[in-house]
Chains A and B, each alone.
Chain A
Amino acid sequence: MKNKILLMGNPNVGKSAIFSRLTGAKVIISNYPGTTIEFTQGQMKIGDERPMVIDVPGTYSLEPTCNAEEVAVRMLNNCSGVIINIIDATNLERNLYLTLQLLEKGIPMIVALNMWDDTKHKGIHIDVKKLEKKLGVPVIPTCGLTGEGINELVKRLPKAKVVKKQPLSKNKIWEKIGRIVAESQKLSHHHHTLLERLEDLSIKPLTGLPLAAGVIFCAFWLVRFIGENLINYIFNPLFYKLWLPLIVKLSNFLGAGTFLHNILIGSLINGKIDFGQSFGLLTTGFFVPIAMVLPYILSFYLILGFLEDFGYLPRLAVLVDNFMHHLGLHGYAIVPFILGLGCNVPGALAIRILEGRREKFIAATLMAIAIPCMAQIAMIIGLLGPRGGKYVAFVFLILFALLILKGLVLNKVLKGTSPELLLEIPPYRIPQALAVIKKLWMRLAAFLKEALPLVLLGVFLVNMLHYLGIMDFIAKLFAPVFTTLLGLPKEAISSLIVGFLRKDVAIGMLGPLNLTTKQLIIGSTILTIYFPCIATFVVLIRELGIKDMFKIAIIMITVALLVGTTLNLFL
Chain B
Amino acid sequence: MEINLTQLKPGESAIVKTIQGGFGFINKIHCIGIRPGKKIKKVSSHFWGGPQTVEVDNMQVAIGFGMAKKIFVEVKE
Chain A residues packing against B (C-beta within 8 Å) = 60-61, 63, 65, 90-91, 93-94, 97, 122, 124, 170, 174, 199-200, 203-205, 208, 314, 317-319, 321-322, 330-331, 419-425, 427
Contact = CB atoms under 8 A, between A and B. Distances in A.
Given A314-B62, A317-B62, A321-B62, 8 more contacts: A90-B58, A94-B59, A203-B60, A322-B48, A422-B62, A423-B61, A424-B59, A425-B62
A536 B16 CA distance: 45
Contacts of A122: 58
Contacts, number: 99
B46 A425 contact: no
Q: What's the dominant secondary structure at chain A's contact region?
A: helix
Nearest to B65: A420
Given A61-B27, A203-B60, A93 B51 contact: no
5 contacts: A60-B31, A63-B27, A91-B59, A422-B61, A425-B62
Nearest to B33: A94
How many chain B residues sit at the interface, stated as a range, is: 20 to 34
A567 B46 CA distance: 37
Interface in B24-77: 24, 27-33, 35, 43-51, 53, 57-67
Q: What's the dominant secondary structure at chain B's contact region?
A: mixed
Nearest to B28: A65
Contact of A425 (B35, B49, B53): B53
Contacts of A90: 58-59
Contact of A199 (B27, B31, B57, B60): B60
- Kindly list the 3 A-B residue pairs having the minimum CB-CB distance in the complex, ordered from nearest: A420-B64, A60-B31, A425-B60
A205 B33 contact: no
Contacts of B59: 90-91, 94, 424-425
A537 to B, nearest CB: 32
Nearest to A199: B60
Nearest to A202: B44
A124 B66 CA distance: 33
Nearest to B50: A322
Nearest to B43: A203
A174 B43 contact: no
